[in-house]
Structure 1
Amino acid sequence: MTTHKLPNNLINQASAKFNTEELNLPALQESLYGFLLQLVNIYIPEDALQEFKQLFINCLESGSLNNVPIIHKIVLCDDEQEFHYTLKRSCYILINNWAAKRQYKYIQDLINLFTQLPVVRTKRIGHELATYQIWLENFVHSPDYQELKIFNYKYDGKSKTHWSDRYAHYLLVSQSLDTNKPKEQQEAASKLSRQMKDKYKFELAMYIARSQSATSSPTRYNNPSIFGDEVLRLIKMIVVKKGKFSYENLANIFLKQTQNQTLKEFKTNIQKYLFFSVYPGFLKDLEKPYVHLSKSSDQKNQVSNQYIVENLQQLLTIKLSSWKAEKNAEIINKDLLLRICNKLIDSLTLENRQEPSEIFILLLSHGHPLTLVIILLKIICICNSSRSHLESRLADLISYYKDKPEDECQWVIHFIEFYNITFAIYAENVEYNLLQVVEVESASHTPANLDTYRVFSQVKAEQAKPD
């Protein structure tokens, strides 16, 4: 790495400007952001990080805010919430720049600056410094800092200590869509979530390829799922549906048949579409190993699949019949399609963004995580624009359950794992196909015959190996 001499005149100029700034918080913030953009573009990362520390943290060691006039004036504005916003946006300015240059180590170092804040040494400190120390400590214990820590998960494997860390890319999607977040945070979250998603798809494709090859080392690529070698059979079960009656083909047929229908007619027909072939034999067989994860472990209390379908249809009918009833006579269009698909996603996950919906509990508590995943997939097949809304709801689910021990929410974890695998198979830049390698008398696509097939995954040319 080329070392640049520290341009002290930049610091001097900035300090002189900060000293002349009036107590106008928006103006102070913009001056700070402009300085940090210059800082991260001119300095090498080590020096930029040192200057960031000098700006925000070293005043606690020196016992005075006199050397950081911009921070002193922000404190005098007496708005802790705005300070937290200012600090996190300052962090994301550096993170975006370093991530673009793949200088990931410094992102870790930046986040870790806040893990052990220095204690003010002097016994008697001014009111402003005492206030600032409290603000910094509150920031470290705030959701803002927890969101910041997610950026460690990709770059530091040791940071993944909680089960929810495995699904951090959904939390990042939620950040990227939140317009209340700083634009730099939304941008950084969007880029990192895409990288993590692509990495998962790449690792899954490579694992499948290597696991079926006698000449490959089984340790060369890790299985990104938690299912072990069972994931190969699961993928075969899902890929077998990618033929004439694939979910994409069924979606295209449905959209053509309903393009001139009223919203009221569409509400009825979309339910028929969602439940068509929702319980194929292979789906039930796949879910059998996970029935024990349901809230009721007594098999006598397990209700029939038909009962669940009927109950599910009844619940959705009630929810859809009253939704946008004033628009029932309107012809379905792209806007209404998006809105009704988002409504369905809410009804199937978190209807009020506070706790899981009744349908979510119904399906998962009776051991049907893959059934729910397939229904969600069919929704996305007719409206891909709802994908970000769905992933945002998954983030809400993860946030809801993250305080529970892993062994108490295995049924939710399995749902997320099923979702990851299913949607990876239907991704645009990875193609999965089955090829029969052993001739048998009956070549029907049934679970009993899947051992005679190999699954082939191909990462398309534009999909480079992720970082």
Structure 2
Amino acid sequence: MDSWSHYYNRQTTVEEKKLYSHLYKCAEVESPDMLIERFRLLFIEGIEYYPSQILRTLGTIANSEFAQREFPFILNRSCYILINRWWQHPRLKSAIPKLIALFETYPVRVARSRTTKRLRELVRRFPQTQQYRALRHLAQVITQKQEQETPAGSKPLSTFLNRYPCLYEHCLLTQDSSYEQRQKIRLLRDQKQRQYELDLSRYITYQKLHNNSLYVKNPTLLSDRQLDLALKQFTGKIDGYNSYRDLAERFRTYSSLSPCYGAFKQEFYEYLTVAIDSKYIRGEFSQRLYKQLQTTLSQHEHEKLNRALLERTCKKILNFLVVESPQNPKHYVFSDLTSNLGTTPTIGILLKIVLLCRQVKNYLEQRFSILFNHYESHANDTINWLVESLENLNVALSTNFGKLTLCSFYI
């Protein structure tokens, strides 16, 4: 049983309840500055805290048998008691990054007791956890504005997270996130997505009108030419007759008539590679994709295709095309595709999959969150292929799954 399962399945201790209750009461009456200092004294210093019984309570938690594996969940929940309070008031949101920044500071006072040393050791390990990474990402989304003029390479990829709402749920939430936290992040994602779609719609309208007296900024990090090509790719007639959406609808109908799963995989291979004029697709990649499909869920070869089998197949192919997991972040195929085919056609292949099986859209976004986390400390000019892929993904998902009717501009 992993750490989260242990934490989730056991009863909350009396000490944890006392700690949370204390923080709730303080959050209701104290200013953000007072709360941040209180949090620093309690968790970073671990000494000279008032009321002293809360410090003793925290010490009991730190010395418990479960603290080694479960303290990150307790500390994360403590952070969110304050964050949720401030989130309700826009003028207080700026306190959230200040709270999270505490974990980059060091204690000032000397720790004399074993309990204080134990507490500090547990807090010192917190920045190595998924919970802290999600908190840090949240701070970056809150503080960073979409600066299109940002010089290439001047900032790490992590500071561009606010540009990609499709990654929010995977980068800002963890398995222990509460229902309230999830609702807040989804609302933030929806707000950012709506704004992006509005900005994109205005830009497209401006481009079609050719109005020299009005300038509308390109809302992406792609050049105007790259964005124009992406829009034509993701919304236009990809083969001269059908859009990606048309091809997906036709193939969905056609594949329902497949005699067995084995036959479907052959048809699926042709669906993914059709309308791509590239020697690379017809050569090396074609062979690898064909081999991958042949070995995918081969135990079901003679069964009739069903919804569950389709979803599992699409997920396995997304693993193959993008990346499998945080534990195995190798992405040779994706890097090879973007290098030889280009980022826009590569995202087009992935779009074919999610249009065919919409249930895997979230799974595709999760694949890209793995790549984002893997490269988050890299300067963006050293990973242009990933930045361009994320920008193309934004355009592809917005034009095919968004709420605005953008497709009509380029059909």
Same fold (TM over 0.5): yes
Q: Deviations over 1:225-266 (max 9, x none)?
A: 212332452255233338961221221111111224321121
Match of 2:256 in 1: 259
Query: Match of 1:365, as an amino acid?
Result: S
**CA distance in structure 2 between the partners assigned to 1:157 and 1:172 by the alignment:** 14
Query: Match of 1:343, as an amino acid?
Result: K
**CA distance in structure 2 between the partners assigned to 1:85 and 1:163 by the alignment:** 27
Q: Does 1:347 align with 2:334?
A: no
Q: Deviations over 1:119-151 (max 9, x none)?
A: 11x5x6111112212222222454432321111
From 248, 271, 277, the equivalent of 2:245 is: 248
Tell me if structure 2 keeps the 8 A contact 1:171–1:395: yes
- Are the structure 2 counterparts of residues 327 and 362 from structure 1 closer, same or farther at C-alpha, using a change threshold of 3 Å? same
- Are the structure 2 counterparts of residues 223 and 164 from structure 1 closer, same or farther at C-alpha, using a change threshold of 3 Å? farther
Match of 1:29 in 2: 16
What's the TM-score once normalised by structure 2's chain length? 0.80
Match of 2:151 in 1: none
Match of 1:375 in 2: 349
Tell me if structure 2 keeps the 8 A contact 1:98–1:104: yes
Q: Deviations over 1:52-110 (max 9, x none)?
A: 45543464466996552321221121523322211112222333343344342232232
Tell me if structure 2 keeps the 8 A contact 1:65–1:129: no
Segments of structure 1 that go 5 or more residues without pairing to the other structure are 1-23, 280-304, 436-454, 457-467
SS at match of 1:234: helix
Match of 1:421 in 2: 395
**CA distance in structure 2 between the partners assigned to 1:36 and 1:335 by the alignment:** 45
**CA distance in structure 1 between the partners assigned to 2:215 and 2:388 by the alignment:** 27
Matches within 5 A, 1:288-367: 305-351=278-324, 353=326, 354-367=328-341
**CA distance in structure 2 between the partners assigned to 1:178 and 1:147 by the alignment:** 7
Match of 1:166 in 2: 160
Tell me if structure 1 keeps the 8 A contact 2:24–2:81: yes
Q: How many residues align?
A: 384
Match of 2:73 in 1: 85
Q: Deviations over 1:385-427 (max 9, x none)?
A: 1011101110111223334443332222222222222222223
**CA distance in structure 1 between the partners assigned to 2:364 and 2:286 by the alignment:** 20
Same amino acid, percent of matched pairs: 24
Tell me if structure 2 keeps the 8 A contact 1:66–1:72: no
Q: Deviations over 1:197-252 (max 9, x none)?
A: 3333333333444565433355xxx5332123324522552333389612212211
- Are the structure 2 counterparts of residues 352 and 109 from structure 1 closer, same or farther at C-alpha, using a change threshold of 3 Å? closer
From 114, 121, 133, the equivalent of 2:120 is: 133
Tell me if structure 2 keeps the 8 A contact 1:251–1:382: yes
Q: Does 1:112 align with 2:101?
A: yes
CA RMSD of aligned residues (A): 3.4
Higher helix share: 2
Matches within 5 A, 1:385-400: 385-400=359-374
**CA distance in structure 2 between the partners assigned to 1:55 and 1:201 by the alignment:** 44
SS at match of 2:221: coil
Query: Match of 1:166, as an amino acid?
Result: F
Segments of structure 2 that go 5 or more residues without pairing to the other structure are 1-10, 148-154
- Are the structure 2 counterparts of residues 217 and 247 from structure 1 closer, same or farther at C-alpha, using a change threshold of 3 Å? closer
Match of 2:150 in 1: none
Match of 1:230 in 2: 225
**CA distance in structure 2 between the partners assigned to 1:325 and 1:56 by the alignment:** 53
Match of 1:196 in 2: 192
- Are the structure 2 counterparts of residues 196 and 29 from structure 1 closer, same or farther at C-alpha, using a change threshold of 3 Å? farther
Match of 2:273 in 1: 275
**CA distance in structure 2 between the partners assigned to 1:259 and 1:368 by the alignment:** 32
**CA distance in structure 1 between the partners assigned to 2:167 and 2:17 by the alignment:** 28
Query: Match of 1:253, as an amino acid?
Result: R
Higher relative contact order (CA 8 A, sep 6+): 2
Deviates more, 1:374-383 or 1:354-363: 354-363
Matches within 5 A, 1:179-194: 179=175, 186-194=182-190
Deviates more, 1:104-113 or 1:52-61: 52-61
